Structure 1
Amino acid sequence: MTEAAVEKTVENHAFEADVARLLHMMVHSVYSDRNVFLRELISNAADACEKLRYEAITDPSLSAGDGENRITLTLDEEGKRLTIEDNGIGMSRAEMIEALGTIARSGTRAFMERIEAARTEKGEQDAQLIGQFGVGFYSCFMVAEKVDVVSRRAGSDEAWRWSSDGKGSYAIDAVDVSEAPARGTRITLHLLEDAGTYTSRWTVEKIIKDQSGHVPVPILLAEKPGAEPARVTDGTALWTRSKNEISAEDYTDFYRSLSGQYDDPALNVHFRAEGRHEYTTLAFVPGSQPFDMFDPDRRGRMKLYVKRVFITDDADLVPRYLRFVRGLVDTSDLPLNMSREMIQESPILSAIRKGVTSRVLTAIEKLAESDTEAFTKLWENFGPVLKEGIYEDFERRSQLLALSRFRSTSSGEGYRSLADYVGDAKEGQRAIYYLTGGNLDQLRASPQLEGFRARGVEVLLLTDSIDSFWVMNAPEFDGKSFKSITQGSADLSQFAKPESEQAENKPETTAVIDDLITFAKLRLTDAVSDVRVSDRLTESAVCLVAFEGGYDRQLEKILQGAGRIEGASKPVLEINADHSLVKAIAARSDDETLREDAVLLLLDQARILDGDKPEEPRAFAERLQRVFERALR
C-alpha cells in the first residue's frame, strides 16, 4: 500500500465492551468538579515532556530543534475550542491505540464495579475517586463533545490523529506532518455548549495556577489562535525550593499533581540529605487510601529523578509496606545514562531507600505524638499495610511495633498502643494476649475472651489478615511475648478473679464431669485432639482452641484457604464445668443416646461460636430435633 493510500485511510475502532456506559458514568457520576479535566491533561503533557528528557539521555537527537520543554494552551472563543499542546515524546500509532483506546486494563466491567462500590461507601467524596483509576484523559469528555488528538513521536516522520466523541468508538488516521507538532501531542477539545467558559483567559489561567502551578514544565497560554503565548508558570521544581518558601497550599497542589489524587495529604516529608549521598526527597502520606493500595504486586509509587530528569517510577525507593506513600527523590549521585536494571541493584539507591524510609517513619511518629486525631485517621487508612513491616522488616520491627495501634478489650471505640497495654498489664503478666479474626463484633463476642474479661486481663482484638502473621515474627515487646488466647492453655490461674466472683465459690470438677469428659474424648476422637475442663470460659458452655504446638485458629484458616496446608489440625474442645447445661448433660449418665447427641451438639456449638458451621448440617439438625423432642415430652 502506498504512503498516500495510508494517509487517506481512516480506521474505526471500538473501545472495550461497555465503554460507553463507563464514560457516561465517569462524566455524570464520578467527576463532581469539571475543572479537573485540565489538571489531567496538563499532567499527561508534563509526563510526556519528562519521558522525552529521559529518552534524550541516550539519544540527544530526540530533543533537538524545538527548544525547551513546554506545555501550551490555546483558547479559541469563536470556534469554541481549547487546545493543549506539548513538545514531549509524542505517540506512535500503536502507542495511541494502547494509551487512548484501552480503558481500565484490569477489565472495564471490574473497573466499573470498583467505581460503583467506592461511590456507595458512606462518606466517600467524589473528588477522592478521581485519579485513582488511571483514566484521567477521559475526563475531557465532561466538557467536550469531540476530542481530536494529533501526535508525532520524537524522531519519527509520521503523525497520527485520534478522534472520538466518547460514545463507544474512536477513529485513527494518518495526517501530514505539516498538520502536526514538530514533536509531541496536540489535544483539541471541541467544547460543549455549556463549557464555553473554558475559552476565558481568566478562568483557564486561574485553574492552571490553582491546580497545576508546580508541574515541572513551563505552561504557556495563548488567548486566541495565532496569538503570542504568555508564560503562566515557570516550571520550577517545587522540591528544589526551601521549605520556608513553600506554603501548605503549594504542597497540597503539588501532591495532587504528582499523585493524581484529589484529597489533601495527611503528612508531607520534605528534606535534603547531605554527606556521603546527596539527594532531595518530597514524600506525601495521602489523606485517603489509594485505589491500588492492596495491589497484589505491592509496588511503591515514588518517582526517581536524577538532576531533575525523570528516570523511573519503578525504583524501590520505599519498602512495600510504605507503598501508599507518594512522592519523589531527586539525586545527583546517579549517572543519567544508568539503566533501570542497574539502578535497582545500586548501593546508592539502597542507602537512599534506607534514609527515606527512616524519615517517613519518624514523621509518622511525630504526628502520633503531636496530633492524635490526625494520626488515628492515618492509622485507620494505612495501619494494615504498615503492620506488614513488622512481619518483613526486622531492622525496624521495634519501631513499627511501638508505632502500631490496636483495638482491645480495654480500648472501647478508640485504639491502644503496646506501651499502653504493657503499662496497664497485671502484676506478673508475662504475655501480651491477642485474639485474631475477621470481624471486631464477632471477636468481642468470642467465648475465649470470657475468662480474660472476668479477670480484667486486656486482650488485643486483631482483625487484619496480616495480624495472624506478624505476631509470629514479633517475639516480644518490652519483655513480654505475644500469646494467642485460642492456642494452648489459657494459664489464667495466675490472675485472681474479682472478689464478687470469688465469693460465689464455684465447685471443683466433680466425678460426673470427669465421666462426661472421658465419654466425650472417646466419642469425639476423630474430630478433636483433646477434651478438657476450661479455665477461660465463664459464660459459654464450650469453645475450641488450638493445641499448644499448633497454628493459631485464625492463621490455620487463612493458610488452609490459601492452599498452604492441606487440612486443618484437630482442635481442643474446652468445656465449662460450671455451666448449667454441662452439669445437666453430665447428670444424665443413664441415657447414653442423649449423652452422645449432647456431646456432638456441644462440638457443633463450639464450631458455630468460632465462626464456622456444623460439619454435618443435616446430622446437626436431626440431633437437635431429638433433643427437643425429649425435652418437650
Structure 2
Amino acid sequence: MPTETFEFQVEARQLLQLMIHSVYSNKDVFLRELVSNASDALDKLRLAALRDDTLDADVSDLHIELETDQDARTLTVRDNGIGMSYDEVGRLIGTIANSGTAAFLRELREAQDGAGTEGLIGQFGVGFYSGFMVADEVTLLTRRAGERQGTRWTSRGEGTYTLEKVDDAPQGTSVTLHLKPADPDNQLHDYTSVWKIKEIVKRYSDFITWPIRLVGQNGQNGEKGDDGEASAPETLNSMKALWARSREEVSEEEYHELYKHIGHDWREPLETIQLQAEGTFEYQALLFVPSHAPHDLFNQNFRRGLQLYVKRVFIMDDCEELLPPYLRFVKGVVDAQDLSLNVSREILQQDRHIRMMQRRLTKKVLSSVKSMMTDDAERYATFWREFGAVVKEGLITDPDNRDALLAVTSFATTHGDDGTVTLKQYVERMPDGQDDIYYITGESRESIDNSPHMEAFRERGIEVLLLTDPVDEVWVDAVGEFEGKALRSIAKGEIDLGAREDEQSEGEREKQAEDYAGLLGWMREQLSEDVKEVRLSTRLTVSPACLVADSSDLTPALENMYRAMGQEVPRTRRILELNPDHALVKGLNEAYGEREDRSDLSDTAELLYALAVLAEGGRPKDPARFVRLMADRMERTL
C-alpha cells in the first residue's frame, strides 16, 4: 500500500513544538497518558461487544502490554482494544478537534512551573502528543475491531506525518516511541529500564482495571528464566477498584492518582467523597471535587457526568444522569450491582434506580460541602471561588434541594472587603426594624460598589449583598425569601429606609414633593420614550439621578441575557429618580419654575437621564449627541 504524507493542523504543529522543546519537570507523565488512552480503548471495546453481539472482535483477554528494547531504545505501549480506522487516525491524530486548543496552548506557554504544565496535557485531551517529550519519532499501528485492514502512522513531530494502510496489524493500537538518546548523567529518565517502567505504573496506573503487563525486554537483565526461555509477562498493577475498598485500606495518594486519571487533572482534588449504599439496590461511589474549575465549565459542550460501572464492568464515561447539571464539575466513579450491562442512555433517563442514586449522590456532595464550610474555611473559600457560580444554578433548577443549597451558598457583602457571608449570617446580624435582605446585582464588584443605588445604604450602614455572577439575576427571583425575610433588590421598586433624626419631617417631605411636582411631570413628558415615571429619590445622597426598575420588571442585565440566548424581549422603560438635595437638580427645578419657555431645559433633562445611564454602566442611546451636549455645556461654563 502506498504511504501518504500529510501536514499537521496548525494548532497540532504548535503543540508538537511545545512538547518537543518543553522543560517539563516530570516527563514520566507521558506513560501515564498513553496507558490511560489504552485503558479507554479497552473500555470502549468491551462496551461495544456488549451492545453488538455480531462484532467480530476478540475480547477474551483484554490487556495492556509494555515492551522495552534497550538496544533499539524503544518503548511500546500496546492494547488489544477498540482500535482506529484509517480515517479516524487522520482525524484524531493529525488534528486537534478540541475546542479548548487555543486555551491549552495559551496556558501551556504561560505556566511557570513544571508541575503546572504537566497536568495540562491530560486536562485538554491531548495525551498522545506527550510522547514527543521523550521520543524523536513515534509510530502508531492500529486496527479497528471488526475491520480487516490496519493503519500505520509515523511522525518525527516536525510538521508532517505519514499514513499507510497495512494488512497484518493486530486488533487494537500500539504506540512505539523511538526514544531520544540516553543521558548518561540522568539514569532516572531511562524509559527502557524495567525498574523505571514499574515505578511509573505503580505510581500513576496501579488502579487501572485492566492488567498492565511487562513483556520480554530485549537487552534487559532478567528477560529469560533459568531454562533460557523468555519469562512470562509480569502484571505490574494491582487492578484493585479503590471505590470498593474502605478508606483505611487506601492512601490519599492512591485516591489522588485515580482522580487525576478520571479528571485528566494534575492537581490534587479539593475533596474526596466515598459512599456505599446497601439494601435493595447496592452501589459504591467515589467522587472528587476538583480544586479548580475547568476552562470550559460554562461551555455548552462541556462533557459532564460520572464514570458508570456495573459489577466492576465499565459502562460509560460521562453518565450525566447521576448528578444534576449544577454539580457538573464533580468527577468520580459509580459502580452499581443491579443494572443491566447493556444499559443505554435512553434507559438510564427512565430508570428509577438511577434517579434514586442521583438524589443520594447530590445530597452527599452538598453535605460534604456543608462540612467543608464548617470545618475548613480556607478550603470552602476555594470551593466557592471556583464553583459558586455554577452551584447557584441549582437554586433555580432544583427546588427539592434549595434549602441544602442555600445552606452552602455565600456572598460578597458591603460589610467585608474579601470575605463572604451566608444568608443565615446576614439575617442574624440584621438590626431591629430591618425586614428585608438587601442585594444589588452587577457585572463586577467595582461597578456595584460605585453604584448610586448604594449611597443611602452606605450612609446608614445597612448591609447589602453584592451579586456579580450572571445567574444571580435569576435565582433571587426564584428563591424570593429566606427564613421569612424577602430578598429585595436596592435597584428595583421604591425603597423606604425610614427617616433619620437629622432628616426632613413628613411635612417637609410633602412640601418638597409639591415644589418638584411640576418639574417631575414635565420631565416625564420630555423623556417619555425612555422612562415611564420620574420621581424624587430616597436612595440618593451624592448622585443627581439614578434609574430603577419596577419590582416586576426585568433588569437590563437580564434583558441582555435573554437577548444573547436568542429570545426577543421588549425594551423596558424604567423609572428616573432625582436627588432633590443635589445642586444640579435644585437648579433645574428653580429654572423650571422661573421660565415660561422651557425648551432650552430639554437638553438638561436629556443629559440628566444620560448621566443616570452612565452611572449604572450603560451607554447613552445616542453617544455622539451626548458628547455634543456635554461639550456645549462645558463651553458655557468657561
Q: TM-score, normalised by structure 1?
A: 0.91
Paired residue total: 615
The one-letter amino acid paired with 1:95 is: E
Q: Which secondary structure state, in structure 2, belongs to the residue aligned with residue 161 of structure 1?
A: strand
Counterpart residue number, 2:164: 173
Task: State the shift of 1:326 in Å.
Answer: 0.6
| Equivalent position to 2:626, from 615, 620, 623 | 620
Structure 2 gap ranges (5+) = 184-188, 224-229
**Contact 2:559/2:569 (<8 A) preserved:** no
- Residues 37-116 of structure 1: pairs in structure 2 closer than 5 A: 37-58=30-51, 68-106=61-99, 111-116=101-106
**Range with bigger deviation, 60-69 or 608-617:** 60-69
Task: State the shift of 1:207 in Å.
Answer: 1.7
Query: Equivalents in 1 of 2:23, 2:484: separation in Å?
Result: 51
Distance 1:568 1:114, change over 3 A: farther
Query: Equivalents in 1 of 2:122, 2:356: separation in Å?
Result: 31
Query: Equivalents in 1 of 2:547, 2:285: separation in Å?
Result: 51
Task: State the shift of 1:538 in Å.
Answer: 1.0
Counterpart residue number, 2:537: 534
The one-letter amino acid paired with 2:631 is: Q
Q: Which secondary structure state, in structure 2, belongs to the residue aligned with residue 414 of structure 1?
A: strand
Query: Equivalents in 2 of 1:265, 1:10: separation in Å?
Result: 45
Q: Identity over the aligned pairs, expressed in percent?
A: 39
Counterpart residue number, 1:606: 612
Distance 1:488 1:65, change over 3 A: closer
Structure 1 gap ranges (5+) = 1-7
Counterpart residue number, 1:5: none
Residue by residue over 1:85-121, the C-alpha shift from the partner in whole angstroms, topping out at 9 and shown as x without a partner, is: 1222222323323332331343xxx622553167558
Query: Equivalents in 2 of 1:45, 1:294: separation in Å?
Result: 29
Counterpart residue number, 1:302: 306
Query: Equivalents in 1 of 2:112, 2:59: separation in Å?
Result: 50
| Equivalent position to 1:188, from 176, 189, 196 | 176
| Equivalent position to 2:285, from 278, 281, 303 | 281
**Range with bigger deviation, 506-515 or 553-562:** 506-515
Q: Which secondary structure state, in structure 1, belongs to the residue aligned with residue 363 of structure 2?
A: helix
Query: Equivalents in 2 of 1:388, 1:527: separation in Å?
Result: 32
**Contact 2:104/2:124 (<8 A) preserved:** no
Query: Equivalents in 2 of 1:30, 1:102: separation in Å?
Result: 24
Task: State the shift of 1:457 in Å.
Answer: 1.9
Counterpart residue number, 1:373: 378
**Range with bigger deviation, 147-156 or 557-566:** 557-566
Task: State the shift of 1:490 in Å.
Answer: 1.5
Residue by residue over 1:360-399, the C-alpha shift from the partner in whole angstroms, topping out at 9 and shown as x without a partner, is: 1111111111111001101111111100100100101111
Query: Equivalents in 1 of 2:251, 2:107: separation in Å?
Result: 35
Residue by residue over 1:442-483, the C-alpha shift from the partner in whole angstroms, topping out at 9 and shown as x without a partner, is: 111110011122222221111111111111211211111222
Query: Equivalents in 1 of 2:348, 2:97: separation in Å?
Result: 29
Counterpart residue number, 1:3: none
Counterpart residue number, 1:556: 559
Query: Equivalents in 1 of 2:617, 2:561: separation in Å?
Result: 13
Query: Equivalents in 1 of 2:378, 2:315: separation in Å?
Result: 37
Q: Which secondary structure state, in structure 1, belongs to the residue aligned with residue 630 of structure 2?
A: helix
Q: Which secondary structure state, in structure 1, belongs to the residue aligned with residue 610 of structure 2?
A: helix
Query: Equivalents in 2 of 1:405, 1:220: separation in Å?
Result: 50
Q: Which secondary structure state, in structure 1, belongs to the residue aligned with residue 190 of structure 2?
A: helix
Residue by residue over 1:178-235, the C-alpha shift from the partner in whole angstroms, topping out at 9 and shown as x without a partner, is: xx44x32211001123676211223222222122221112222246237533222122
Query: Equivalents in 2 of 1:253, 1:313: separation in Å?
Result: 17
Distance 1:362 1:154, change over 3 A: same
| Equivalent position to 1:427, from 410, 428, 432 | 432
Query: Equivalents in 2 of 1:121, 1:201: separation in Å?
Result: 32
The one-letter amino acid paired with 2:46 is: R
Counterpart residue number, 2:635: 629
Q: Which secondary structure state, in structure 2, belongs to the residue aligned with residue 125 of structure 1?
A: helix
Task: State the shift of 1:330 in Å.
Answer: 0.7
**Contact 2:98/2:125 (<8 A) preserved:** no
Query: Equivalents in 2 of 1:65, 1:121: separation in Å?
Result: 43
2:198 is aligned with 1:205: yes
Counterpart residue number, 1:407: 412
**Contact 1:487/1:547 (<8 A) preserved:** yes
| Equivalent position to 1:265, from 262, 266, 269 | 269
Query: Equivalents in 1 of 2:93, 2:559: separation in Å?
Result: 46
**Contact 1:52/1:63 (<8 A) preserved:** no
Query: Equivalents in 1 of 2:577, 2:535: separation in Å?
Result: 5
Distance 1:541 1:32, change over 3 A: farther
Counterpart residue number, 1:23: 16
Query: Equivalents in 2 of 1:299, 1:535: separation in Å?
Result: 49
Q: Which secondary structure state, in structure 1, belongs to the residue aligned with residue 481 of structure 2?
A: coil
Query: Equivalents in 2 of 1:37, 1:377: separation in Å?
Result: 29
**Contact 2:29/2:118 (<8 A) preserved:** no
Q: Which secondary structure state, in structure 2, belongs to the residue aligned with residue 585 of structure 1?
A: helix
Q: TM-score, normalised by structure 2?
A: 0.90
| Equivalent position to 1:359, from 364, 381, 390 | 364
The one-letter amino acid paired with 1:624 is: M
2:284 is aligned with 1:293: no
**Contact 2:63/2:79 (<8 A) preserved:** yes
The one-letter amino acid paired with 2:296 is: D
Query: Equivalents in 2 of 1:279, 1:205: separation in Å?
Result: 32
Alpha-carbon RMSD across the aligned residues, in angstroms, is: 2.6
Distance 1:563 1:295, change over 3 A: closer
Residue by residue over 1:128-153, the C-alpha shift from the partner in whole angstroms, topping out at 9 and shown as x without a partner, is: 53322111111111111211111233
Query: Equivalents in 1 of 2:2, 2:533: separation in Å?
Result: 79
Distance 1:514 1:343, change over 3 A: closer
Residue by residue over 1:314-351, the C-alpha shift from the partner in whole angstroms, topping out at 9 and shown as x without a partner, is: 42211101110111111111111333322332112111
**Contact 2:50/2:342 (<8 A) preserved:** yes
Query: Equivalents in 2 of 1:582, 1:618: separation in Å?
Result: 24
Query: Equivalents in 1 of 2:21, 2:314: separation in Å?
Result: 35
Query: Equivalents in 2 of 1:71, 1:506: separation in Å?
Result: 87
Distance 1:504 1:131, change over 3 A: farther
Counterpart residue number, 1:486: 491
Task: State the shift of 1:59 in Å.
Answer: 5.5
**Contact 1:215/1:235 (<8 A) preserved:** yes
Q: Which secondary structure state, in structure 1, belongs to the residue aligned with residue 346 of structure 2?
A: helix
Distance 1:238 1:62, change over 3 A: farther
Query: Equivalents in 2 of 1:38, 1:234: separation in Å?
Result: 17
**Range with bigger deviation, 65-74 or 241-250:** 65-74
Distance 1:411 1:464, change over 3 A: same
**Contact 2:370/2:407 (<8 A) preserved:** no
